[in-house]
Amino acid sequence: MAPAQNSGFTVWLTGLSGAGKTTIGHAVAVELERRGLHVEVLDGDVVRTHLSKGLGFSHEDRDTNIERIGWVASRLTRHGAAVVVAAISPYDTTRKRVRALVEEQGPFVEVWVKAPLEECARRDVKGLYAKAFAGEITQFTGVDDPYEEPDDAEVVADTVALSPDESVALVMAELERLGIVPVATPASAPR
């Protein structure tokens, strides 16, 4: 049974590699911490070095990875944490499964961090798109593995149109609108 005073929730950022999930997720985490919440960030790249070490990028391994993150997010949500997940999470049915799992414990707010493939490839923060286009790595989301666009995201953050700060403000406004976090007072408003 969930604790009586449970106020945990999960913000789940999904999108292509390089779309801005980590950038926006960490900034949202900073803002949530400034508001006094206990925050845990689960970043897909980091999770793959620990919890999901050894998993590859087949459909099955990707599902396992996302389901593991979803399970941890649900446990943390149950105990009142503000959980921020930044993971490509490319498959719609898997996202819906983790949503259902988390929602047993608290709100699940999906943020589609949206940028076209061409823009992500242009940024190519990790040099992975160049390798994927050269065929040096395969099963790369958006290149030779699908990204299924969400139809149920609470927030769509278009990172071509919005600066990182504007995307963070959009996410925070949605959390406030849903009554998940209190509306910022002037003292705690972003500087």
Binding positions for ligand ADP, rule: CB under 6 A: 15, 17-24, 86, 113, 123, 125, 159, 162-164, 167
Query: Which of 20/142 has CB closer to ligand ADP?
Result: 20
Phi and psi angles of residue 83, each rounded to the nearest 5 degrees, phi first: -100, 130
Query: Which of 75/123 has CB closer to ligand ADP?
Result: 123
| Closest CB 64 distance from ligand ADP, rounded Å | 20
Is-contact 90 15, C-beta < 8 A?
no
Query: Which of 10/159 has CB closer to ligand ADP?
Result: 159
Query: Which of 20/70 has CB closer to ligand ADP?
Result: 20
Burial 40-50 (b: 16+ CB within 10 A, else e): bbbbbeebbee
| Closest CB 59 distance from ligand ADP, rounded Å | 20
Place of tokens 């999770």: 47
| Closest CB 90 distance from ligand ADP, rounded Å | 12
Please count the other Cβ atoms lying within 10 Å of the Cβ belonging to residue 143: 20
| Closest CB 58 distance from ligand ADP, rounded Å | 20
Phi and psi angles of residue 148, each rounded to the nearest 5 degrees, phi first: -90, 115
| Closest CB 127 distance from ligand ADP, rounded Å | 12
Active site residue 17: no
Distance from C-alpha of 176 to C-alpha of 173, rounded to nearest angstrom: 5
Query: Which of 116/164 has CB closer to ligand ADP?
Result: 164
Would you give the distance in Å from CA 58 to the centre of its chain?
20
Closest CA to 182 of 14, 23, 34, 75: 34
| Active-site residue (options: 17, 52, 74, 89) | 89
Which residues are catalytic, by number?
A: 89
